[in-house]
């Protein structure tokens, strides 16, 4: 058996937001982060990422990106987005467009969505979970119980239950003690795939740490920071459930990213020229 771990990086759409959303800092208001009053010319387009981990013990997808219904004709479509998300409020916060969806990438690789052993939802924001329906026949779909509880509390504005309606999602409790809050979940019980709680942006947000037999690792820190400069300069995003936790998580991301054993540290919304990482 090949013991190498391959991480494929897919751009599964783009999202247009106010600069204050990704880089608003600790004192940013939710109104400013929402971008409701930000002129279109001042907004910025960011990539939306999804990752396929080819591991000796299975195929693991991290996040789903946008659903095809966001962009039926692969162009920006206001009416289609509002219908897909089920929320005009979310449309005003983040406009989205998708050229290629995650299931289309997998099809190009001759991978059936039913071949996916796990789908890991780092959190349930729309640009991570809206495309879940496209991989609903995966063997197991997982997110943290803390995240689902948080999402249900904020379902009117930030989340929509329709994204995961009628989909069997396994809600897991933190059973291990890695990370800044000593809350983690060791997927294979061998430290090769660890889901590490990095709350702040949302309660159940987790990073995925992928480690090989030599101890070298890749860190997928989702929306714990929106770019390398986020942890280099400790600039948290403008959207936060808890500012104190958000900063503590960001400091941990910085520490992990600067470790000599770290092969790559990737934010979900930062452009990268890397398409595949092998460790």
The answer to whether 15 and 48 have CB atoms below 8 angstroms apart is yes
Token code pair at residue 188: 């294979």
Average pLDDT over residues 199-224: 98
Residue, of 157 and 129, whose pLDDT is higher: 129
Average pLDDT over residues 170-188: 98
Burial of 100 from C-beta contacts in 10 A (0-12 / 13-18 / 19+): middle
User: Which of 1-10, 65-74, 103-112, 207-216 has the least mean pLDDT?
Assistant: 1-10
Residue 25 lies in a domain: yes
Residue 138 lies in a domain: yes
Q: What is the pLDDT of residue 10?
A: 98
Q: What is the pLDDT of residue 1?
A: 52
Token code pair at residue 264: 């790559």
Residue 1 lies in a domain: no
The answer to whether 250 and 233 have CB atoms below 8 angstroms apart is no
This prediction has a pTM of 0.96
**Of 93, 113, 117, 92, the residue nearest 103 (C-alpha):** 113
Range of the domain at 45: 6-273
Q: What is the Cβ-side half-sphere exposure of residue 142, based on CA atoms within 13 angstroms?
A: 21
7 contact partners, CB below 8 Å, separation of at least 6? 51, 52, 53, 54, 210, 218, 220, 276, 277, 278, 279
- pLDDT exceeds 60 at position 183: yes
- Rounded Cα–Cα distance for residues 225 and 200 (Å): 10
- Rounded Cα–Cα distance for residues 33 and 125 (Å): 15
CATH number of the domain bearing residue 229: 3.60.15.10
Q: What is the pLDDT of residue 193?
A: 98
What is the number of domains present in the chain? Answer: 1
Neighbours of 17 (CB within 10 A): 26
Residue 239 lies in a domain: yes
Query: Could you tell me which residues are beta bridge partners of residue 253?
Result: none
Q: What is the pLDDT of residue 203?
A: 98
**pLDDT single digits (tens) 245-274:** 999 999 999 999 999 999 999 999 999 999
Q: How far is CA 109 from the centre of its chain?
A: 22
**pLDDT single digits (tens) 78-105:** 999 999 999 898 998 999 999 999 999 9
Token code pair at residue 235: 């600039």
- pLDDT exceeds 60 at position 214: yes
**Of 176, 117, 143, 161, the residue nearest 63 (C-alpha):** 143
The answer to whether 168 and 135 have CB atoms below 8 angstroms apart is no
Query: Could you tell me which residues are beta bridge partners of residue 264?
Result: 218
DSSP 176: B
- pLDDT exceeds 90 at position 37: no
Residue 278 lies in a domain: no
């Amino acid at each position: 058996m090949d013991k190498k771990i391959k991480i494929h990086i897919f751009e599964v759409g783009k999202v247009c937001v106010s600069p204050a959303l990704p880089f608003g800092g600790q004192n940013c208001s939710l109104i400013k982060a929402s971008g409701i009053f930000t002129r279109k010319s001042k907004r910025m387009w960011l990539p939306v990422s999804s990752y396929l981990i080819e591991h000796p013990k299975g195929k693991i997808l991290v996040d789903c990106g946008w659903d095809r219904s966001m962009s039926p004709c692969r162009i920006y479509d206001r009416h289609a987005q509002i219908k897909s998300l089920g929320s005009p409020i979310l449309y005003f916060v983040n406009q989205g467009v998708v050229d290629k969806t995650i299931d289309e990438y997998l099809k190009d690789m001759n991978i059936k969505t039913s071949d996916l052993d796990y789908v890991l939802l780092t959190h349930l924001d729309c640009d991570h979970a809206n495309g879940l329906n496209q991989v609903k026949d995966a063997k197991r779909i997982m997110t943290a119980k803390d995240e689902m509880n948080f999402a249900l509390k904020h379902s009117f504005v930030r989340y929509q239950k329709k994204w995961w309606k009628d989909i069997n999602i396994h809600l897991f409790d933190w059973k291990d003690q890695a990370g800044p809050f000593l809350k983690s979940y060791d997927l294979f019980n061998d430290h090769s795939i660890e889901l590490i709680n990095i709350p702040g942006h949302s309660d159940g947000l987790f990073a995925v740490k992928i480690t090989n037999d030599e101890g070298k690792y890749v860190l997928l820190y989702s929306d714990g920071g929106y770019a390398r400069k986020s942890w280099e300069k400790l600039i948290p995003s403008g959207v936060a459930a808890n500012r104190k936790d958000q900063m503590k998580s960001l400091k941990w991301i910085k520490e992990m990213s600067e470790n000599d054993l770290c092969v790559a540290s990737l934010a979900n919304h930062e452009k990268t020229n890397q398409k595949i990482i092998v460790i």
